[in-house]
Amino acid sequence: MKVHILEKATELFTRHGIRSVTMDDVSRHLSISKKTLYQHFTDKDDLVETIVIAQVKITEQNCLEFRKKAENAVEEMILILEFMNVYFAQRNPTAFHDLQKYYPNAWAHFTRHKENFLRKSIEDNLKRGVKEKLFHADLNVQIVSRLRMEQVECVFNPEIFPGNKFNMQLVHDQSMKLYMYGITTLKGHQLINKYLSKLNKKKQKV
C-alpha cells in the first residue's frame, strides 16, 4: 500500500505541482481514506520527503547504469539527455519551485544528492571524455562541473524561465546540447551528431 501511495502521489505532484495538491486530493485519487493515508505517512511533508528520496534513488541508479552501458563519455551524456528529456516532459514546472520553497527537509535530500552524487558524476564523465580524447584536454574538471550544475539549476528558475512562457523539456534540451558541444573535440562533435541522429530516428518511429 505504501508503494502504491507513493506512485499515485508522485503522479499528482508531477502533474499539478506539490503545493496545490492536498492530502485530501491524494486520498481521493487513491480511493482510500485519509486514515489509511496517515497510517503510512505522518503528514504531507513526510510524503513529499519520501517521494524525493525515492526519486533521487531512481536517478542515481539510472546514471550508474548509463555509465556502464555507454561505449564512451559522449554516449553517456546522450543517454542522460534522453532520460532527462522524458523526466522534464512529465513534470509541472512549479513542482521544483514548490519543493525548494516549502519543503526544506525534502529539499535538503535533493541538495545532498546534487552535491554528493550529481557533481561527482559530471566530474567522472569529464575525466572519461578527456581520457578518450573526446573532450578538450585543457578542461578544468572542478570548474566545468560546477558551471554545469548551475546551468541545470537555471532551467528550474521561474524568474529566468517562467513556466507559462517556456517548456522545461526544451530549455533543458538546449542547455544540455550547448554544454555538450562546448566541451567536446571535433571527434566528440561527430559522435554527438551520430547519436542525436539515432535518437531523432527513434522518436520518429514512436
pLDDT tens readout for residues 54-86:
999 999 999 999 999 999 999 999 999 999 888
**What are 147's three cell numbers?**
558551471
Per-residue pLDDT tens over the stretch 156-171: 888 898 888 998 889 9
Per-residue pLDDT tens over the stretch 102-160: 999 999 998 899 888 999 999 999 999 999 999 999 999 999 999 999 998 888 888 89
Q: Which of 9, 13, 158 shows the shortest CA–CA distance to 97?
A: 158
CA distance 45 to 119: 27
**What are 13's three cell numbers?**
505532484
Write down the pLDDT at residue 152: 86
Does the pLDDT at position 31 exceed 70? yes
- Between 51 and 199, residue with greater pLDDT: 51
Q: What is the CATH number of domain 60-205?
A: 1.10.357
CA distance 51 to 59: 12
Q: Which of 23, 24, 126, 138 shows the shortest CA–CA distance to 77?
A: 126
Report the amino acid identity of residue 28.
Answer: R
Write down the pLDDT at residue 149: 92
- Could you give the residue ranges of the DSSP H alpha helices within the chain? 2-16, 23-30, 34-40, 44-69, 73-89, 94-102, 104-113, 119-131, 141-156, 168-183, 186-205
- Averaged confidence pLDDT in the chain: 92
Write down the pLDDT at residue 14: 87
Q: How confident is the model at residue 6 (pLDDT cuts 50, 70, 90)?
A: very high
- Scan for cell 550508474, then name that residue: 64
Report the amino acid identity of residue 201.
Answer: K
CA distance 138 to 101: 38
3-class secondary-structure state, position 206: coil
Q: Where are the domains of the chain?
A: 60-205
Of the listed ranges 57-61, 93-97, 107-111, 177-181, the least confidently predicted one is 93-97
What is the dihedral angle through the alpha carbons of 94, 100, 106, 112, rounded to the nearest 10 degrees?
120
Whole-structure pTM value: 0.88
Does the pLDDT at position 94 exceed 90? no
Average pLDDT over residues 21-43: 94
Write down the pLDDT at residue 206: 64
Write down the pLDDT at residue 128: 98
Non-local CB neighbours of 98 within 8 Å, separated by 6+ positions = 17, 18, 19
